[in-house]
Every structure is written in C-alpha cells, then in structure tokens.
C-alpha cells in the first residue's frame, strides 16, 4: 500500500486494485485513479462504446502530475479524458462527450429531450447533494452528526428509488434495457456507499427500504461494461478509512 501523505479534500485516494489494463491506441487516454468514482464513470462509458484506451494512473498521493495540471488547469482533478490532443474535464461532461463523439455505439443519454433532462437533473442531485452526504457520514464526528448524515442519505435513496420507478419503466436500469447516463452517474458511487456502510456498521440500501435499488445494484454490478471496473470493497475500505481519517485530521476533527 502506498503512503497517503497528501491532503486530498475529497474522498478519493490512490491505489491500483486491479491489474492495469492497458489497451493503448494513443487516441484515447484516461488520466485517473481506479478508486475514484468519477474516473469509473469515464471507464464505463468507454466500455459501453467498446473503445480502446490507455489508462494513465495519476498518483494523487505523490503530488499532481504535469500532465494533470496542464490538462485540467482549472480544477486539477481526475478524471481527464484526452482525445487526440484535446483534454476533456469533469466526469459527467466526459460521459456526454463520449456519447456524442462515438454515436455508433449504444446510446448513453436518452434520446428523448425530457428524459435526458431528467437524467441530468438526478445526476446533478447525486453529485451536489447525495454523495457529499456519503462523505459527511464517513467523517462524521459524534452521534448527532452521524444521524444527520444518515437521514440525508436515506432521504436521497428514497428519492432515487422513486426516480428509478419513473425512469426505468419496469426495466432493469434507469436507462431502460441498457445502462445509461444516470446508471453510470449513480452506479459509480456504489463502491463508496458500501465502504461507508461497512465502516459505520449500517445498511442504507436494503430490501425493505429500497427494493428496486437493491435489484438495480445487482444488475448494474454484473453488467459487462461494469463488472471489471467495480472496486474490491475490502481494499476500497482500507483506502476509505485512510481518506476519511485524512479529511478529519485536515479539518481538525478527532
Ligand atoms: N466534479 C468532478 C469531481 C472529480 C474529483 O473530485 N476527483 C478527485 C478524485 S476522486 C480529485 O481529483 N481530487 C484531487 C483534488 O481535489 O485535488 C468530476 O465529476 O469529475
């Protein structure tokens, strides 16, 4: 395990938990880390389109590479998709770029404008509201803070359960018969949700509270574009514990 020396303000750390698949073509490169949920989105989208890519491991714990600083000078974050010599930043924008640039593969965004807007709405909700609550639970100091984060997460899962009913129209995925934009946006967080559940000894997504999401999780994790990308939960838990401890220390918490 590498030393985790740097303060990373988001729950993400670096380690290589799978063998580095490297289908180099030079045309498409992904700058990222395999423990990052946002990087996972990019990889799943590339898999859906059956595209070859080169994975360039960014070891954030060792400082940011020149390539990252040059490719994402505004946020300096992973993932970065490099298509030819063009860098594309922000995971949801990257997924949309992949969908638009390689339209001959299976569609990722819904073709209907309203359904597309709904998928984008929930993806933004997950990034802006729900996933930050996962992080809050991971670093929660004391029972009150834990309870508040759990309540927020459960409320969010109830909303996603309802959204699943509307978006999937009785099919296996938010995207219908195949995984789509919202499946990718939400599914990429499942590893970190499981890790946070494990660290706290709780179950947030279960058969009684969110039965449709439980079924969806199983279908999502088994999907051909996803199964080799899903993180090993035990290893991710170790990374999670270190990342949460680092964030707590940086915030002056115990
Ligand atoms: N909104 C961004 C979030 C990306 C992000 O937070 N990446 C983390 C890795 S999981 C990162 O690069 N952290 C380094 C930093 O914040 O300095 C996206 O969707 O791509």
Cis peptide before 216 (omega within 30 of 0): no
Q: Is the pLDDT of residue 251 over 90?
A: no
Q: How far apart are CA 158 and CA 117, in angstroms?
A: 20
Asked if 65 and 71 touch (Cβ cutoff 8 Å), the reply is no
The answer to whether 93 touches 80, Cβ cutoff 8 Å, is no
Band (253; pLDDT cuts 50, 70, 90) = confident
Report the nearest atom of ligand 1 relative to the CA of 78. 12
Q: What is the gyration radius of the CA atoms in the chain, in angstroms?
A: 18
pLDDT of residue 141: 86
Mean predicted confidence (pLDDT) in 79-108: 97
Q: How far is the CA of 38 from the centre of ligand 1 (A)?
A: 7
Residue in 7, 32, 33, 38 to alter for ligand 1 test, most ligand atoms within 8 A of Cβ: 38
Q: How many angstroms does the Cα of residue 49 sit away from the middle of ligand 1?
A: 23
Nearest CA to ligand 1 atom 15: 77
How many angstroms is it from 29 CA to the middle of ligand 1? 17
pLDDT of residue 252: 85
Ligand 1 atom with minimal separation from the 58 CA: 12
Residue 162 predicted with pLDDT over 80? yes
From the CA of 60, how far away is ligand 1's center (Å)?
Answer: 10
Residue 26 confidence (pLDDT): 61
Query: Distances from the Cα of 45 to the Cαs of 126, 166, 186, in angstroms?
Result: 18, 23, 13
Q: Whose CA is nearest to atom 14 of ligand 1?
A: 77
- Give the Å distance between the CA of 91 and the centre of ligand 1: 9
Is the model's pLDDT at 117 over the cut of 60?
yes
Residues with CB under 6 A from ligand 1: 8-10, 12, 36, 38, 60, 76-79, 90-92
CA angle 6, 7, 10 (to 5 degrees): 125
Strand 28-32 and strand 80-83: pairing?
antiparallel
CA 243 to ligand 1 centroid distance, Å: 13
- CA pair distance 109, 102, nearest whole angstrom: 12
Can you list the domains of the chain with their CATH numbers? 113-250 (1.20.1050.10)
Average pLDDT, the chain: 90
Instruction: Give the global pTM.
Output: 0.90
């Amino acid at each position: 395990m590498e030393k985790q020396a740097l303060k990373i303000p988001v729950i993400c750390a670096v380690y290589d938990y799978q063998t580095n698949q490297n289908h180099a073509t030079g045309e498409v490169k992904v700058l990222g880390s395999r423990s990052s949920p946002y990087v996972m989105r990019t990889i799943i989208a590339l898999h859906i389109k059956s595209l070859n890519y080169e994975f360039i491991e960014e070891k954030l714990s060792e400082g940011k590479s020149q390539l990252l600083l040059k490719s994402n000078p505004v946020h300096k974050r992973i993932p970065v998709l490099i298509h030819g010599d063009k860098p594309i930043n922000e995971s949801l924008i990257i997924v949309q770029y992949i969908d638009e640039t390689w339209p001959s593969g299976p569609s990722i965004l819904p073709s209907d404008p309203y359904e597309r807007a709904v998928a984008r709405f929930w993806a933004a909700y997950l990034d802006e509201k729900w996933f930050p609550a996962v992080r809050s639970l991971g670093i929660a100091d004391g029972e009150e803070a834990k309870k508040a984060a759990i309540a927020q997460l459960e409320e969010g899962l109830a909303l996603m359960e309802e959204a699943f009913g509307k978006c999937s129209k009785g099919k296996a995925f938010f995207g219908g018969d195949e995984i789509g934009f919202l499946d990718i946006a939400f599914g990429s967080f499942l590893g970190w949700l499981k890790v946070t559940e494990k660290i706290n000894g709780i179950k947030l997504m279960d058969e009684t509270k969110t039965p449709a999401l439980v079924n969806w999780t199983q279908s999502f994790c088994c999907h051909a574009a996803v199964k080799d990308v899903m993180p090993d939960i035990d290893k991710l838990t170790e990374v999670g514990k270190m990342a949460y401890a680092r964030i707590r220390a940086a915030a002056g918490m115990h």
